[in-house]
């Protein structure tokens, strides 16, 4: 893992930070193109993976329309709309017994690294659409 970011990598990172709202790789690509018009999709993907490995962005797996990225790397939870897949951060800390989680992980022989609470629901837009 190298310690310095290339110019492109910096642009990608800043874009994820500025976009804020859990962009997909393509969304990052479209946005970063404004400052670096010649950048290629491949570079965006490569860079996002590197950033994730370095811990600079979070990779949120929730397929549908592809993985999403988040520059907010502290531990936090999410609300996900079951219908449209939109995703929001939960700011408030949800109390969980760390010790219990650790133990559950251990029981399965897994070394726990992190955890996440996901709340699934229907966002306003989707509720309207169903009506």
Residue ranges that bind DNA, judged by CB under 7 A: 2, 6-9, 24-26, 36, 38-43, 45-47, 49, 63, 65-67
Task: Name which of 101 and 129 has its Cβ closer to a copy of itself.
Answer: 101
Q: Give me the helices (H) in 20-90, please.
A: 25-32, 41-54
Q: Which stretch binds a copy of itself (CB under 8 A): 1-9, 17-25, 26-34, 74-82?
A: 74-82
Q: Say which entry of DNA, a copy of itself, none residue 42 contacts (CB below 5 to 8 A, set by partner kind).
A: DNA
Q: Which among 114, 103, 13 is positioned nearest to 54, based on CA atoms?
A: 13
CB of 1 to DNA, least distance (A): 10
Work out whether 97 is an interface residue with a copy of itself (CB under 8 A): yes
Q: What distance in Å separates the CA atoms of residue 29 and residue 38, rounded to the nearest whole number?
A: 11
Sign of CA dihedral 61, 62, 64, 66: negative
């Amino acid at each position: 893992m190298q310690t310095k970011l290339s110019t492109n990598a910096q642009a990608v990172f800043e874009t994820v930070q500025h976009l804020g709202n859990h962009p997909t790789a393509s969304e990052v690509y479209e946005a970063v193109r404004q400052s670096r018009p010649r950048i290629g999709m491949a570079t965006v993907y490569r860079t996002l993976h590197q950033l994730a490995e370095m811990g600079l962005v979070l990779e949120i797996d929730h397929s549908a329309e592809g993985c999403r990225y988040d520059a907010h790397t502290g531990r936090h939870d999410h609300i996900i709309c079951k219908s449209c897949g939109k995703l929001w951060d939960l700011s408030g800390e949800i109390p969980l017994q760390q010790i219990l989680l650790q133990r559950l992980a251990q029981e399965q022989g897994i070394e726990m690294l992190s955890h996440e609470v996901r709340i699934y629901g229907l966002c306003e837009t989707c509720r309207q659409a169903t009506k």
